[in-house]
Structure 1
Amino acid sequence: MPTKPTREQWLRHVLSSATLTDAIKVTATELFLEMRANLHVSVPRALLARRLGRSERQVSRRIQVLKESGFLDVIETGWKGRTAVYVGMFKSRGSDAQRVTVSSTLCEAPKRHPLEKPVPVVAGHRVTPWASRHITIGHLRHGVCRNVSTDADASMLEHVPSLDGHAWRSRTAARLTFSARSAWPLLRDTHARLAAHLHLRLRPVAAHHSTAARKRTTP
Structure 2
Amino acid sequence: MPPAPLDRRGLLKALAATTVALAAWPLTALPAEATATVGTWNVQTLEAFADTLIPGQRRYAGDLPIAGAVTGPGGVQAGAIQILTSPQLPLVPWLPGIAGLLDTRALAWAATHLLFLPPTRPALVGLPFSHRTALVTGLFDPGDPDRPVWQVLALLVGLAFDTAAHQPTTTALADNHPGLASIGFPAPDADGLWRFPEHSYNQPLADLHPHTTASGSPA
Superposition TM-score tier, normalisation by shorter sequence = under 0.3
Please identify which structure carries the higher strand content: 1
- What TM-score, normalized by structure 2, do the two folds share? 0.22
Answer with 1 or 2: which has the greater Rg.
1
Which structure exhibits the higher relative contact order, with contacts defined as CA atoms closer than 8 Å and separated by 6 or more residues? 2
